[in-house]
Amino acid sequence: MSRPVRFNIHPIEAKISDAIGNAPAPEGYGGDGFFTARLSDVVGLARKNSLWPLPFATSCCGIEFMGTMGSHYDLSRFGSERVGFSPRQCDLLMVMGTIAKKMGPVLKQVYLQMAEPRWVIAVGACASSGGIFDTYSVLQGIDQVIPVDVYVPGCPPRPEAILDGFMKIQDLVGQESIRRRNGEQYKALLNGYGIE
Amino acid sequence: MKIKPELIKTTKCLEEDKINAIMTEHHHHITLPDGSIEKQTTTLNVGPTHPATHGVFQNIMELDGERVVSTEQTVGYIHRAFEKLAERRPLYQVTPITDRLNYCSSPINNMGWHLTCEKLLGVETPKRVDYLRVIIMELARISDHLICNSIVGVDTGAYTGFLYVMQYRELIYEIYEEVCGSRLTTNIGRIGGFERNFTNTAFTKLEKFLKEYPKVLKEFEGLFARNRIFMERTIGGGAISAERALNYGFTGPNLRAAGVDYDVRVHSPYSSYEDFQFDIPVGKTGDNYDRFLVRNQEMWQSLSIIEQAYQKIQAFKGAEAEIYHADVPEYYLPKKEDVYTKMEALIWHFKIIMGEVDMPKGEVYKAVEGGNGELGFYLISDGGRTPFRLHFRRPCFIYYQAYPELIKGGMLSDAIVTMSSLNLIAGELDA
Amino acid sequence: MAIDNQYLQIKLTEKFGDLVFNFEDSYGMLSFEAPKEQNLKVLQYLYDEPTLGFQFLTDLCAVNYPDDKGRELAVVYHLHNLQTNTRIRFKVFTSIENTDVFTASKLFSAADWMERETFDFYGVNFVGHHNLKRILNVDEMDYFPLRKEFPLEDQTRIDKDDEMFGRG
């Protein structure tokens, strides 16, 4: 059952004087045009607004992440609508929660399966440094096994803090040189962790 | 005495060796009887990082086609040595680590710990404090059951329910924030009461919750409870009889779904639960559908308890409405204004923080009804400032043992739904 | 209607005589001790006897008393009678050299993992357990961490300044 249309039933004729983009270009300057930018900027822009995170949620910070993914704090406005659980398909490894020594090899294996370029964000105090658990069974920070780009402190960090960390990752991604992953410094960094 | 050296940095994944070892161990694939399509079972590693295991536990399943024949479980991927940690910390410093047991409903763990300490120290809390505690604990129970039920929905394919109710968990978090400042791992309350009186904003937020939430719960229930697809997915899967459940030490909604009406709030009432009128929902077969319905009904009951408690609190007038803690200067930190101005308050503050106040010697076991069942605290004190031994009786750890029996003979997808309907919280499992 | 602690004590001493001792009332719960060889008999009696009926194993844990020579490890069972709402605590002590204790997992399936956890933390060897392996710690660990002699912290950290933490 359709209602009668009430609005916009007298459409206005388009007039040439209203349109601002319509002025003809001077002789010799017309055509499609081009835009100069650095390749790394454009690639960075594309990458940073479509990061696919892998939520490696082990404990309490994982529940705050679920809150961040919810509609109130909404991570998907930053381009991370699709979270993946397969490391082969993801760019950003978000480690949320305590990593015990038993879990360390598993974390390393997940990291190794990710394809370049990959970033790691350590969410929460436990992932950054072991947190309040200074015990024999907890890995005192995931940077003992994998290289980390951004650390988000908090126990658990508020969703705003997680989003702030995510935005810092976006800054890193946007400004990264496209030759970084092939360079000597990066290789040395990975070798420091025993990764070839 | 060799203590484990630092993690060996190798190029190969360390786990690869372990996986090879497991695969060769499991070459004892179970041979299937004649007439089966396959000759041997397939080994499937539902590994520690898996989107469907909400938490880190590993199950190495032997499958005959789609049916599960047996499973070998590995837990401990998030073992944080709480019990050893507690031996180093005085009583009020143990509260933050109890938060991290069942982190979906951390106020219940905090209150349970405070009740244990109060039992050991012989502290009586006034009625108003008890009613405030009841409100917080029931909010936590609602928060825990919301996660569990909506995750069961997600595992059967219905993602909407989860996103919709997360919004209402935010309302509960706001109430916690008003009282104690933190959203998730609350560290709420003190021995003897609360750290501050509930402000008017807290009560306004509570009223808003009580007004808006029943509609949402009704919608959520309407989405799942008589939904044909959901019923066919969940009925029959993961069933357990009452005798086996009792032998396995089940407690909480999982036991009530099997037919036994054991609820610590009714059997050994604490924090004035005997003043409230509520029912204990009980299921029949103990399968996934019954667990879902029991948790759902418990949320309604919790809502009714909160309303009753709120009315009782509003009945306190005048000076009684200002009470928010028991009068125990030896264990309850004095107000900061007093610490800076009065001598006795300063001395008490110093004694409590420095641990000069000794505990009585003794052993106490106290249980509260957590989101998953009977959460027990066994505290042995030898008179020093820290516990001599603190053991947590964690319900998740105890009923997860029954998982192989629950899924045997069922299909793989049912095994996944069973795992999420049991409400396994990794923090409570491993402690 | 909880069973009276006196009644429990009388029934136990009737059946076991001198083998059960150290009866204590700790905060309302009766707590007693028996030699470790008798633990299954006592548990079975508490389970089967119709007037007692402790058929629910609430908790099983261990405690390390390093100063009591010959009785360093205690295994503590908490039992519960759901019908009458009575709880009871039962302890067996074992020395640290010979830590064999009979397993309760045939009687209570709940004891299965609880005994594995106790083995993992304290090294109590449960005789007859079908799968006594470490459960929460890494499999390669070769000491029993919750014993009082071992430290809490990870000993391989090089970045922590012990002077600042008062452990220098």
Compute the distance between CA of residue B417 and CA of residue B52 in angstroms, rounded to an integer.
9
Closest Cα in chain A, distance from residue C129 (Å): 24
| CB-CB neighbours of B374 under 10 Å | 27
The torsion angles phi and psi of C63, rounded to 5 degrees, stand at: -135, 140
Model confidence at A20, in pLDDT bands (50, 70, 90)? low
**Choosing among B184, B187, B396, which should be mutated to test the A contact, i.e. which has the most A CBs within 10 A?**
B184
Identify the pLDDT of residue B23.
Answer: 52
CATH number at residue C65: 3.30.460.80
Q: C154 in a domain, yes or no? A: no
Tokens representing residue A90 in the block? 């993801």
Compute the distance between CA of residue A27 and CA of residue A41 in angstroms, rounded to an integer.
32
Cβ-in-10-Å burial (0-12, 13-18, 19+) of B236 comes to: middle
Residues of B in contact with C110 (CB under 8 A): 247-249, 398, 401
**Choosing among B93, B398, B403, which should be mutated to test the C contact, i.e. which has the most C CBs within 10 A?**
B398
Task: Select from A101, A102, A135 the Cβ nearest to the Cβ of C153.
Answer: A135
Compute the distance between CA of residue C91 and CA of residue C89 in angstroms, rounded to an integer.
7
Q: How far is CA B307 from CA B93, B206, B302, in A?
A: 32, 10, 9
Cβ-in-10-Å burial (0-12, 13-18, 19+) of C75 comes to: buried
Residues of A in contact with B56 (CB under 8 A): 58, 103
Task: Select from C138, C154, C160 the Cβ nearest to the Cβ of A135.
Answer: C154
Domain A52-171 maps to which CATH number in 3.30.590.20, 1.10.150.570, 3.40.190.290, 3.40.50.12280? 3.40.50.12280
Identify the pLDDT of residue B392.
Answer: 93
- According to DSSP, the β-strands at B389-393 and C56-64 are unpaired
**Choosing among B100, B160, B172, B186, which should be mutated to test the A contact, i.e. which has the most A CBs within 10 A?**
B100
Model confidence at C154, in pLDDT bands (50, 70, 90)? confident
What is the domain partition of chain A in residue ranges?
52-171
Identify the pLDDT of residue B205.
Answer: 93
Compute the distance between CA of residue A93 and CA of residue A120 in angstroms, rounded to an integer.
5
Contact B77, B58 (CB under 8 A): yes
pLDDT digit string, tens, across residues C57-110: 999 999 999 888 888 899 999 999 988 889 999 999 999 888 899 999 899 989
Q: What is the mean pLDDT of chain C?
A: 88
Task: Indicate if the pLDDT at residue B374 is higher than 80.
Answer: yes
Q: What element of type H or E holds C90?
A: strand C86-94
Residues of B in contact with A97 (CB under 8 A): 78
Of B3-7, B335-339, B370-374, B426-430, give the lowest mean pLDDT range.
Answer: B3-7
Largest CA distance in chain C: 61
Residue of chain B whose alpha carbon sits nearest to that of A155: B185
Task: Indicate if the pLDDT at residue B8 is higher than 50.
Answer: no
Q: Please compute the mean of the pLDDT values over residues A132-158 and round it to a whole number.
A: 90
Contact B153, B162 (CB under 8 A): yes
Tell me the residue range of the domain where C43 lies.
5-97
What is the Rg, in whole angstroms, of the alpha carbon atoms belonging to chain B?
A: 24
DSSP lists the bridge partners of residue B74 as B58
CA C46-C52-C56 angle, 5° bins: 60
The torsion angles phi and psi of B119, rounded to 5 degrees, stand at: -65, -40
Identify the pLDDT of residue C102.
Answer: 92
Across chain A, the runs of DSSP E, i.e. the strands, are 53-57, 92-96, 119-123, 150-152
Q: What class does CATH assign to B82-430?
A: mainly alpha
Q: Please compute the mean of the pLDDT values over residues B75-95 and round it to a whole number.
A: 89
This prediction has a pTM of: 0.89
Q: Please compute the mean of the pLDDT values over residues B359-378 and round it to a whole number.
A: 92
Give percent above pLDDT 70 in chain A: 96
Identify the pLDDT of residue C63.
Answer: 93
Give percent above pLDDT 90 in chain B: 45
Quote the number of domains for chain C: 1
Count residue pairs from B and C with Cβ separation < 8 A.
101
- Return the residue matching tokens 């939904």: B227
Identify the pLDDT of residue B10.
Answer: 35
Compute the distance between CA of residue C83 and CA of residue B267 in angstroms, rounded to an integer.
10
Q: Please compute the mean of the pLDDT values over residues C107-115 and round it to a whole number.
A: 91
DSSP lists the bridge partners of residue C86 as C81
- According to DSSP, the β-strands at B58-64 and B42-46 are antiparallel
Residues of C in contact with B83 (CB under 8 A): 121, 146
Closest Cα in chain B, distance from residue A43 (Å): 30
Contact B213, B219 (CB under 8 A): no
Contact C84, C53 (CB under 8 A): yes
Model confidence at B11, in pLDDT bands (50, 70, 90)? very low
Q: C57 in a domain, yes or no? A: yes
Give percent above pLDDT 90 in chain A: 37
Identify the pLDDT of residue B12.
Answer: 39
Task: Indicate if the pLDDT at residue B27 is higher than 70.
Answer: no
- Estimate to the nearest angstrom the gap between the alpha carbon of A174 and the chain centroid: 10
Contact C58 B75 (CB under 8 A): no
DSSP A98-144: --BTTTHHHHHHHHHHSPSS-EEEEESHHHHH-TT--STTB-S-GGG
Compute the distance between CA of residue B114 and CA of residue A119 in angstroms, rounded to an integer.
42
Q: What is the mean pLDDT of chain A?
A: 87
Contact C138 A140 (CB under 8 A): no
- Which chains form contacts with chain A, at 3 or more CB pairs under 8 Å? B, C
Residue of chain C whose alpha carbon sits nearest to that of B268: C85
Contact B185 A102 (CB under 8 A): no
Q: Please compute the mean of the pLDDT values over residues B240-263 and round it to a whole number.
A: 91
Helix (H/G/I), strand (E/B), else coil: C123: coil
What is the domain partition of chain B in residue ranges?
28-74, 82-430
Identify the pLDDT of residue B3.
Answer: 36
Nearest CA-CA partner of B120 in B195, B194, B191, B193: B191
- According to DSSP, the β-strands at B58-64 and B67-74 are antiparallel
**Choosing among B248, B266, B366, which should be mutated to test the C contact, i.e. which has the most C CBs within 10 A?**
B248
Closest Cα in chain B, distance from residue A42 (Å): 33
Compute the distance between CA of residue C129 and CA of residue C102 in angstroms, rounded to an integer.
8
Residues of B in contact with C29 (CB under 8 A): 365
More confident of the two residues A35 and C12: C12
Compute the distance between CA of residue C28 and CA of residue C2 in angstroms, rounded to an integer.
11
Model confidence at B290, in pLDDT bands (50, 70, 90)? very high
Contact B277, B284 (CB under 8 A): no
Q: C111 in a domain, yes or no? A: no
What is the sign, positive or negative, of the torsion defined by CA atoms of B9, B13, B15, B16? negative
Contacting residues for A30 by C-beta, under 8 A, at least 6 apart: A24
Closest Cα in chain C, distance from residue A133 (Å): 9
Q: Please compute the mean of the pLDDT values over residues C39-56 and round it to a whole number.
A: 89
Task: Indicate if the pLDDT at residue A113 is higher than 70.
Answer: yes
Residues of A in contact with C138 (CB under 8 A): 101-102, 137
Closest Cα in chain C, distance from residue B58 (Å): 12
Nearest CA-CA partner of B332 in B83, B105, B124, B86: B124
Compute the distance between CA of residue B373 and CA of residue A111 in angstroms, rounded to an integer.
37
Task: Indicate if the pLDDT at residue B7 is higher than 90.
Answer: no
Judge if the upstream peptide bond of residue A105 is cis by omega within 30 degrees of 0.
no
More confident of the two residues A92 and B30: A92
Model confidence at C153, in pLDDT bands (50, 70, 90)? confident
Count residue pairs from A and B with Cβ separation < 8 A.
116
Give percent above pLDDT 90 in chain C: 36
